[in-house]
Chain A
Amino acid sequence: KAGVTQTPRYLIKTRGQQVTLSCSPISGHRSVSWYQQTPGQGLQFLFEYFSETQRNKGNFPGRFSGRQFSNSRSEMNVSTLELGDSALYLCASRFGTAMNTEAFFGQGTRLTVV
């Protein structure tokens, strides 16, 4: 069974640009959550999608957005990139929405903003 797949693995962008990251969850999983990982802030929750609907959102500015498609694949977009957006972006998939079930992470997308 394939794991969570994130593409691309690495990205280098310039300040002011926008970027789109993709996440394909484990087959059969319908919940996708996104996290930002930085050395200073650790793992921070961005948002969660289930059945194409955003269920919850973390404390990030509106430049961070996402969506989920009918096949459960999810994308997140960051507009007007800032240097501080440089981070590892991780997505996690879960079968349903219950928080007491296992969540599996992808390898992440390493975004560098220059």
Chain B
Amino acid sequence: GENVEQHPSTLSVQEGDSAVIKCTYSDSASNYFPWYKQELGKGPQLIIDIRSNVGEKKDQRIAVTLNKTAKHFSLHITETQPEDSAVYFCADSGTYKYIFGTGTRLKVLA
């Protein structure tokens, strides 16, 4: 069935370093992959997304890459800051519902 694997489950980085979170999906027909950031006590916030017709998208310190052949997509955060600390979820748009990864708790150490 539809499945999204997300790694790592936790990630600690020093402020200013980069962070990379990876996801693997199973549905070859998937064509839209959003990333959400969820802070404590809040709902998921869409931070970046990518469609299958591009391999990379960048928005300031955040970038997402997509490898359709390998069914991998990754979130890259450069120059991390303490406010980047949160749980990050990848998602596969699926046929009619989002299939979410299990989340990555990112801690940026000052």
Contacts and interface: CB of A to CB of B under 8 A. Distances in A.
Q: Do A and B bind each other?
A: yes
- For chain A, what secondary structure do more than half of its interface residues adopt (helix, strand, loop), or is it mixed? strand
Interface of B: 31-32, 34, 36, 41-46, 49, 51, 89, 93-98, 100-103
A80 interface: no
Contacts of A4: 43
Contacts of B42: 107-108
Contacts of A48: 96-97
A104 B98 contact: no
Interface in A90-114: 90, 92, 99-108
Interface residues of A, number: 23
Contact of A43 (B34, B89, B96): B89
Interface of A: 4, 6, 33, 35, 42-43, 45, 48, 55-56, 58, 90, 92, 99-108
B46 A99 contact: no
Nearest to B96: A56
Contact of A100 (B44, B45, B46, B51): B51
Given A43-B98, A55-B96, A106 B43 contact: yes
Contacts of A103: 34, 46, 98
Closest 4 pairs between A and B when the two form their complex, measured CB to CB: A100-B32, A45-B97, A105-B43, A99-B93
6 contacts: A4-B43, A42-B100, A42-B101, A99-B95, A99-B96, A108-B42
B45 A105 contact: yes
Nearest to B93: A99
Contacts of A102: 34, 46, 49
